[in-house]
Chains A and B, each alone.
Chain A
Amino acid sequence: MPFDKERADFEARAKRAKAMGSPTRLGERKAAGILNARERVELLVDKGTFIEAGLFATSIKPDVRDKSPGDGVVSGFGKIAGRMAGVNAADFTTLGSSSAEVHGKKQYYVRETCRKNGMPMVSLMECAGGRIPDIMGAAGIGRAGEGARYTHARETPWASAVLGLTYGGGAFTCINSDFVVMRKGAVLAVSSQMVTSVAIAEEMSPEDLGGWRLHSEQTGFVDTVVDTDEDAIAQLKAFLSYLPDNATQAPPVVPTIEPVAAALDTLVPESRAKTYDVRPVIKAILDKDTYFPLKERFAKVAVTALGRIAGKTVGIVASNPMFKGGALDPDGCDKITSFIVLCDSFNIPLIFLADTPGFLVGAESEKRRLPGKIMTFMAALELSTVPKIALVLRKSYGQAYLNMGGGRSDVTASWFSGDISFMDPAVAVNVVYAVKPGEDPARYEQLLKQVSSGTTAYELAAPFMAQMVIDPNDTRRFLTGMLEVLKRPSQHRLADWPPAF
């Protein structure tokens, strides 16, 4: 056969490169039920579609070339549910998938190819941090700074998974992403606990430094948490199914499955003092089994979820009275702001469902910069150009009414039960007239009646500040119809918004 010698050499080289790091480390992972980089890629992409880039790349350092197959990352392109995407999968068995010159070049190549050709990028991350000694010295850190390798201008969706110890560059890739899933047991931090213990004498476990609870509940950097690598990859695929390939396209439309019929007016208590969980309301509005919450464990007072109505992707923003009574707090503002940025960048219409007593006032909120958070949220809302629908479910007071899209959406609407004002009438009686119900019940009731007049949905509809007042049970039909009316693409004015704020 022609090229026998070359073919044998090629196959031997490919076999060595695909073997990744040491068999011992690969064996340890297998025993722990953790997939290796190539197994992850195989699970992510459609069978037989992966085209690898950089299989024969190695470290730039001659003395470690033999120990650095692929330089610690499996890169390339493959189809995910039939759509081509770029993939970078960290190979932790090779030098801890640490950041180094060739390692970075491979990832940058995939990233730029995706950007130029309008494809999503998936990063399956683990990273020991910057590779020492490569990154040491002036030239070392200088090389790491070459090129604009960090900025994500949201031209195509980036989805990342934190699947092990992920420090430095690996962590930054995740932070820059539009969606992050984290496997329990994985860690995301700037530096490892070995560095922090030396640098600032702080001793703690990797889990406490950057585990799933920290990032899903306190920082909000992680959108969803799973138990296994397999679940993480399923979540990445699910997220991408709601997104277009790039910002110039509309999201894919899929066949509609009607939700389980639920009378929405039975899911929301009539009394404004009673709390309830808004999530069943959202599920009853969306197509069956399409509710896909982001950052569900973070700032629970706000729900941000992708979903579909009549097969089309929508972004739902809802205050959730079950937590803090639906009073929006500083973290809730951040959560909604980042979701507006995501939806506006990828042509996903936004639907705001408001049932809120207002922003969460008090010393703690002020310390945590609530006024600034409210205005950042408002800036994102007003700069967004994707279609927006604002719907008041039960009550919506003060600045929160405006931030939840009231008066600054394509449509402002209210259930017939809507109560809209500057503040809860009961609070207004105390503040304005200094009358408390226990002190002078008759006068309190008289003033409450007086202050409560003019707060109904019809009072918003009369001056055409609300375009529609609807029966709660007509919500899905109303939204389905309006989404057919509002179908313009976004102008993507939020595409350059920072990744974290």
Chain B
Amino acid sequence: MSRSTVKTEITGKVWKITAEKGQRLAEDEPIVILESMKMEIPVPAPLDCTVVDILVSEGDTVTEGDVIAHIES
């Protein structure tokens, strides 16, 4: 098992958190959804993984490259 981080690829506001700690996700399943460019943009799991921790809350502003979660794969 190796631990890695998930970063946002776009600047925006955290609109919804769709995964929770300990949840198993398939590659491309969303962890959080951002509001940006007038769209609801998911931050997806980069690979099949388990969510270790989510570091943002709904309403937070995030910048491209910010770490929003830790995962284990």
Interface residues, chain A, with chain B CB atoms under 8 Å away: 272-275, 321-327, 329, 357-358, 360, 362, 364, 424, 426-427
Contacts and interface: CB of A to CB of B under 8 A. Distances in A.
B65 A357 contact: no
Contacts of A273: 38-40
B11 interface: yes
Given A360-B10, A362-B64, A364-B11, A324 B41 contact: yes
B37 interface: yes
Contacts of A360: 10, 37
B11 A362 contact: yes
Nearest to A364: B64
Contact of B40 (A275, A364, A426): A275
Nearest to A297: B46
Contacts of B41: 275, 324-325
B64 A325 contact: no
24 contacts: A272-B38, A272-B39, A273-B40, A274-B39, A275-B40, A275-B41, A275-B42, A322-B28, A322-B44, A324-B9, A324-B10, A324-B37, A324-B41, A325-B36, A325-B41, A327-B10, A357-B37, A357-B39, A358-B37, A362-B64, A364-B63, A364-B64, A424-B37, A424-B38
Contacts of B63: 364
A298 to B, nearest CB: 12
Contacts of A275: 39-42
A67 to B, nearest CB: 41
A279 to B, nearest CB: 11
Given A362-B64, A364-B64, A364-B65, A325 B39 contact: yes
A362 B61 CA distance: 14
Nearest to B63: A364
A364 B63 CA distance: 9
A47 to B, nearest CB: 38
Contacts of B38: 272-273, 357, 424, 426-427
Contacts of A326: 39
A327 B65 contact: no
Given A272-B38, A272-B39, A324-B9, 19 more contacts: A273-B39, A273-B40, A275-B39, A275-B41, A321-B39, A322-B28, A323-B9, A323-B44, A324-B37, A324-B41, A327-B10, A327-B36, A357-B37, A357-B38, A360-B10, A362-B64, A364-B65, A424-B38, A427-B38
Interface string B33-70: 00011111110100000000000000000011100000
Interface of B: 9-11, 28, 36-42, 44, 63-65
B48 to A, nearest CB: 15
A357 B38 CA distance: 8
Nearest to B11: A362
Contacts of A272: 38-39
Q: Which are the 4 A-B pairs with shortest beta-carbon distances?
A: A325-B39, A357-B37, A325-B41, A364-B64
Contacts of A424: 37-38
Contact of B42 (A322, A358, A362, A364): A322
Which interface residue of A274, A326, A362 has the most chain B CB atoms within 10 A?
A: A362
Contacts of B11: 362, 364
A325 B65 contact: no
Which interface residue of B36, B38, B42 has the most chain A CB atoms within 10 A?
A: B38
Contacts of B28: 322
Contacts of B42: 275, 322
A403 to B, nearest CB: 16
A393 B62 CA distance: 29
A321 B10 CA distance: 13
Contacts of A357: 37-39
Contacts of B65: 364
A55 B71 CA distance: 52
A424 B39 CA distance: 10
Nearest to B64: A364
B13 to A, nearest CB: 13
A360 B34 CA distance: 14
A329 B65 CA distance: 14
A325 B41 CA distance: 5
Contacts of A358: 37
Nearest to A430: B38
A20 to B, nearest CB: 36
A321 B42 CA distance: 10
A46 B11 CA distance: 51
Nearest to B28: A322
A424 B65 CA distance: 25
B36 to A, nearest CB: 7
A329 B28 CA distance: 19
Contacts of A325: 10, 36-37, 39, 41
A425 to B, nearest CB: 9
